[in-house]
């Protein structure tokens, strides 16, 4: 008989949990069938089913526990834990709904834009907004959980009373973190960089892979990923190759002898570019950009659709023009000229 009170609340809690799981399974089956005709219903249910299930289960368990558990410290502890579970689940559900709506809005906005740069700008801004909203929900959830503990109100009043000193301490201690936070927001909404932009960082061509509240991830062509603080892009000069578009102008420099046949080299260059399939048709040229000393500096300029094509096309032009010069215009290859005078022979004749 002494075990009956404990068994009663265990049975009630288990029964309520089982009933709630059964209800969620029925809803899942119904949503799956409706989703065959309305896919958005199934997609929406898959996004909210976990937080909604956690919230419903927490509420059911708390009701059953409150109705069957004997008064005492154990009952109070259990009700408090379940209340925290309800708060966390409710905040999780609200955050999921809001973030899902933001994602839907981002998809609709970007689908209406035909300009790739505008799409990437909207994607960057909406993604950062989503992260800010997520951080706000975390802070709100933590605050609500703390308010369930007795005495937190007095602690909060004490903190508010010393807000001046606290703000100074936090400002000094978190100066770097706050700087990165505001720098991340500045980058997203000033359109300095966007996800997918091609930038040159520390002399390396990279692609903006992700922009967060505190750091930026760039992807390098050799599959390395560099993580930089957001303040790097607000305090350090960098080159954004796709600021106004994805097209790129590439240059290849040759140091050649004065005997180079520029007309034939230009014809070979144009043939190589035409056969490559990587040229975007905007511009190409062979020009002598310097004639100092014993060398001519010949610059080959070619445009392409993006940085990947630019890199491949420049390597192709450099390789095939070097082969053409060796096979068809070898006198153009750089030489080292040395003038030798017979000073020793001249000195011997004068002595005789």
Fold (CATH) for 248-332? Alpha-Beta Plaits (3.30.70)
Beta bridge pairs of residue 287: 299
Would you call 217 exposed, middle or buried from its count of C-beta atoms within 10 A (0-12, 13-18, 19+)?
A: middle
Residue 161, pLDDT above cutoff 70? no
pLDDT in tens, 294-312: 889 999 999 988 777 888 8
Q: Would you say the pTM of this structure is higher than 0.75?
A: no
DSSP, res 331 = G
Are 239 and 279 spatial neighbours (Cβ–Cβ below 8 Å)?
Answer: no
Fold (CATH) for 191-240? SH3 type barrels. (2.30.30)
Parallel, antiparallel or unpaired: strands 296-304 and 279-290: antiparallel
pLDDT in tens, 20-43: 778 878 887 887 788 778 777 777
Residue 1, pLDDT above cutoff 50? no
Q: Which residue, among 212, 210, 213, 215, has the nearest Cα to 196 in the 3D structure? A: 210
**Domains of the chain by residue range:** 4-152, 191-240, 248-332
Q: What is the distance between the alpha carbons of residues 340 and 352, in angstroms, rounded to a whole number?
A: 23
Lowest mean pLDDT across 42-56, 201-215, 233-247, 272-286: 233-247
Q: What is the distance between the alpha carbons of residues 30 and 42, in angstroms, rounded to a whole number?
A: 9
């Amino acid at each position: 008989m002494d075990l009956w009170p404990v068994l009663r609340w265990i049975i009630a809690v288990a029964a309520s949990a089982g009933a709630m799981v059964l209800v969620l399974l029925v809803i899942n089956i119904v949503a799956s069938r409706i989703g065959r005709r309305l896919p958005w219903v199934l997609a929406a249910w898959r996004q909210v089913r976990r937080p909604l299930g956690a919230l419903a289960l927490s509420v059911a368990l708390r009701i059953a526990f409150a109705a069957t558990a004997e008064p005492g410290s154990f009952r109070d502890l259990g009700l408090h834990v379940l209340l925290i579970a309800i708060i966390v689940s409710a905040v999780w559900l609200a955050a999921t709904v809001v973030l899902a709506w933001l994602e839907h809005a981002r998809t609709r906005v970007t689908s209406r834009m035909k300009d790739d740069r505008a799409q990437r700008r909207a994607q960057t801004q909406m993604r950062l907004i989503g992260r800010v909203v997520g951080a706000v929900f975390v802070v709100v959830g933590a605050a609500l959980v703390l308010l369930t503990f007795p005495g937190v109100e007095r602690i909060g009043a004490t903190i508010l009373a010393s807000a001046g000193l606290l703000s100074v301490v936090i400002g000094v201690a978190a100066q770097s973190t706050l700087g990165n936070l505001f720098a991340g927001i500045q980058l997203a909404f000033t359109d300095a960089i966007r996800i997918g932009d091609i930038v040159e960082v520390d002399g390396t061509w990279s692609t903006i892979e992700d922009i967060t509240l505190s750091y930026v991830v760039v992807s390098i062509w050799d599959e390395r990923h560099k993580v930089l603080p957001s303040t790097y892009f607000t305090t350090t000069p960098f080159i954004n190759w796709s600021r106004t578009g994805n097209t790129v102008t590439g240059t290849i420099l040759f140091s050649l002898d004065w005997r180079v046949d520029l007309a034939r080299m230009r014809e070979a260059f144009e043939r190589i570019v035409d056969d490559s399939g990587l040229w975007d048709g905007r511009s190409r040229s062979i020009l002598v950009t310097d004639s100092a000393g014993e060398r001519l500096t010949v610059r080959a300029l070619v445009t392409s659709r993006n940085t990947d094509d630019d890199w491949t096309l420049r390597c192709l032009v450099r390789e095939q023009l070097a082969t053409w010069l060796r096979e068809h215009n070898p006198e153009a290859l750089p030489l080292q000229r040395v003038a030798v005078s017979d000073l020793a022979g001249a000195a011997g004749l004068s002595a005789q």
